[in-house]
A and B are shown apart, each in its own frame.
Chain A
Amino acid sequence: MTAILTVDDSASIRQAIKIALSGEGYAVTEAANGAEGLDKGAAGGFDLIVTDLNMPVMDGLSMIRELRKRPAGAGVPILFLTTESDADIKAQAKAAGATGWLTKPFDPEQLLRVVRKVLAK
Chain B
Amino acid sequence: MTAQDPVETFRQEAQELLEQIEQGLLDLVHRPSERDLIDAVFRGLHTLKGSGAMFGFDALAAFTHHCETAFDRVRKGEVPASPDLVTVVLAALDHMRALAEGRPASDAEGQALLDRLQQVVATAAPAQSVAAEAPPPATDGGLNHWHIRFSLPADALVNGTRPLPLLDELRELGECRVVAITDAVPPLKDLVSSQCHLAWDVTLITPHGRDAIEDVFLFVIDDMTLDIEAITPSAPATADAAPEVAPVRDVTPVAATASSDDGTAAQAGEGRAAKAGGDTVRVPAERLDEMMDRVGELVIAQSRLKQLAASSSDIALRAVAEEIERLASEMRDTMMVVRMVPIAQLFGRFRRLIHDLARDTGKAIALSTEGEGTELDKTVIERLADPLIHLIRNAADHGLETPEQRRAAGKPEAGQIVLAARQSGAEVVITITDDGRGVDRARVRAKAEENGLIQPGQALSDSELLQLIFAPGFSTAATITNLSGRGVGMDVVKRTIEGLRGAIELTSTPGEGSVVSLRIPLTLAIIDGLLVRVGAGRFVIPLSSVEECVELSPEQDRRSTGRSLITLRDQLVPFIRLRQLFASGQPADPHQKVVVVQAGQERVGLVVDQILGDHQTVIKALSGFHAEVGAFSGATILGDGGVALILDIGSLVASGQRQDTPLRAVG
Q: Which residues of A contact B (CB under 8 A)?
A: 9-13, 15-16, 18-19, 30-34, 36, 53-59, 61-62, 79, 82-90, 92, 94, 97-106, 110, 114, 117-118, 120-121
Interface pair B218/A86, CB less than 8 Å apart: no
A4 vs B214: C-alpha distance when bound (angstroms): 23
Cβ of B6 under 8 Å from chain A: yes
Q: Is B211 an interface residue (CB 8 A)?
A: yes
Contact with A along B523-543 (1 / 0, CB 8 A): 000000000000000000000
B259–A87 CB distance below 8 A = no
**Which residues does chain A contribute within 8 Å of B4, judged by CB atoms?**
15
Given contacts A10-B50, A12-B10, A86-B248, 13 further A-B contacts (CB under 8 A): A11-B9, A11-B12, A12-B13, A12-B54, A32-B278, A83-B49, A85-B209, A86-B254, A92-B259, A100-B221, A100-B222, A101-B214, A105-B53
Please tell me which stretch of B260-268, B463-471, B562-570 contacts chain A, meaning at least 4 of its Cβ atoms lie within 8 angstroms of it. B260-268
Residue from the set B13, B265, B273 with the largest chain A CB neighbour count within 10 Å? B273
* Residues in A whose Cβ lies below 8 Å from that of B49: 83
Restricting to B205-227, which residues have a CB under 8 Å from any CB of A? 209-211, 214-215, 218-219, 221-222
Given contacts A13-B51, A104-B54, contact A85 B3 (CB under 8 A): no
Q: Is the CB of B160 within 8 A of A120?
A: yes
The residues of B that contact A34 with a CB separation of less than 8 Å are 266
Does B258 touch A at the CB level, under 8 Å?
yes
Contact A61 B278 (CB under 8 A): no
Q: Is the CB of A61 within 8 A of B259?
A: yes
Question: Is there contact, CB below 8 Å, between A102 and B215?
Answer: yes
Query: Given A16-B6, A87-B210, A121 and B219 touching (CB < 8 A)?
Result: yes
Q: How near does chain A come to B164, taking the closest CB pair, in angstroms?
A: 14
Q: Which of B7, B256, B266 is A58 in contact with, Cβ under 8 Å?
A: B266
Q: Which of A18, A33, A118 has the most CB of B within 10 A?
A: A33
Known contacts A10-B13, A15-B6, A84-B252; A36 and B214 CB within 8 A of each other: no
Nearest chain-A residue to B269 (Cβ)?
Answer: A56
Chain B residue contacts of A88, Cβ below 8 A: 255-256, 259
Of A57, A82, A87, A101, the contact of B266 (CB 8 Å cutoff): A57
Alpha-carbon separation in the docked complex, A110 to B216 (Å): 11
Q: Is B46 an interface residue (CB 8 A)?
A: yes
From A15, A57, A106, contact of B270 by CB (8 A): A57
Q: How many residues of B contact A (CB 8 A)?
A: 53
In the complex the two chains form, is B269's CB within 8 Å of A57's CB?
yes
Chain A residue at minimal CB-CB distance from B277: A32
The minimal Cβ–Cβ distance linking A16 to chain B, given in whole angstroms, is 4
Shortest distance from the beta carbon of B21 to any chain A beta carbon, whole Å = 13
A83 touches B282 (CB 8 A): no
* B251/A85 in contact, CB under 8 A: yes
Q: Which residue of B lies closest to A37 (CB)?
A: B278
Assuming A12-B10, A12-B13, is B51 touching A54 (CB within 8 A)?
Answer: no
> Which residue of chain A lies nearest to B47 when distances are taken between CB atoms in the complex?
A10
A56 to B116, CA, bound (A): 30
Given A84-B255, A85-B211, A121-B159, are A13 and B218 also a contact pair (CB < 8 Å)?
Answer: no
Query: A18 vs B5: C-alpha distance in the bound complex, in angstroms?
Result: 11
Return chain A residues, CB-CB under 8 Å to B211: 85, 101, 103
Contact residues in A for B582 (Cβ distance below 8 Å): none
A31 to B50, CA, bound (A): 18
- Which of the residues B222, B251, B255 comes within 8 Å of A98, measured between beta carbons? B222
Q: Are A54 and B218 in contact (CB under 8 A)?
A: no
Please give, as numbers and ranges, the residues of chain A lying within 8 Å of B274 by CB-CB distance: 57
Tell me, in angstroms, the Cα distance from A98 to B274 when the chains sit together.
26
Contacting pair B51 A12 (CB below 8 A): yes
Neighbouring A residues of B10 by C-beta, 8 Å: 10, 12
User: How distant is A22 from chain B, measured CB to nearest CB, in Å?
Assistant: 8
Contact assessment for B259 and A90 in the assembled complex, using a CB-CB cutoff below 8 Å: no
Q: Counting CB contacts under 8 A, is B108 at the interface?
A: no
> Least Cβ distance of B227 to chain A in Å?
11
B43 within 8 A of A: yes
Chain B 429-460 interface mask (CB, 8 Å, partner A; 1/0): 00000000000000000000000000000000
Interface code B118-158, partner A: CB below 8 Å = 1, 0 otherwise? 00000000000000000001000000000000000000000
Cα–Cα, bound, A61→B263 (Å): 10
**Would you give the shortest CB distance from B408 to chain A, in whole angstroms?**
48
- Do B43 and A54 touch (CB < 8 A)? yes
**Bound CA span A90–B228, Å:** 13
CB distance from B323 to the nearest CB of A (A): 36
- Are A16 and B54 in contact (CB-based, < 8 A)? yes
Chain B residues with CB under 8 Å of A59's CB are 262, 265-266
* Interface residue? B558 (CB, 8 A): no
- Residues of chain B with a CB closer than 8 A to A83's CB: 46, 49-50, 53, 137, 252
Q: Which of A30, A56, A84 has the most CB of B within 10 A?
A: A56
- For the complex of A and B, list the 7 residue pairs with the smallest distance between their C-beta atoms, beginning with the closest: A56-B269, A86-B255, A100-B218, A12-B10, A56-B273, A85-B211, A105-B54
A-B contact list, 27 entries, CB within 8 Å: A11-B9, A11-B12, A12-B51, A12-B54, A15-B4, A15-B9, A32-B278, A54-B258, A55-B269, A56-B273, A61-B262, A83-B53, A83-B252, A84-B254, A86-B249, A86-B255, A87-B248, A89-B255, A98-B222, A99-B219, A99-B222, A101-B211, A101-B221, A102-B215, A103-B215, A105-B53, A121-B161
Give the residue of B46, B252, B255, B273 whose beta carbon is less than 8 angstroms from that of A57.
Answer: B273
Instruction: List chain B residues, Cβ under 8 A from A117.
Output: 219
Is A31 a contact partner of B278 (Cβ separation < 8 A)? yes
User: Quick one: which of B48-65 are within 8 Å of A by CB?
Assistant: 49-51, 53-55
| With A12-B7, A99-B219, A101-B218 as contacts: A121 and B160 at CB distance below 8 Å | yes
Determine whether the beta carbon of A36 is less than 8 Å from that of B277.
yes
Q: Which residues of B contact A19 (CB under 8 A)?
A: 3, 6
Q: Please, which residue of chain B has its CB at the minimum distance from the CB of A94?
A: B221
Determine if B248 and A32 form an interchain contact, defined as CB atoms under 8 angstroms apart. Answer: no
- Compute how far the CA of A62 lies from the CA of B258 in the bound complex, rounded to whole angstroms: 12
Q: Are A102 and B259 in contact (CB under 8 A)?
A: no
B46 touches A54 (CB 8 A): yes
Residue of A62, A86, A102 with most chain B CB atoms under a 10 A cut-off: A86
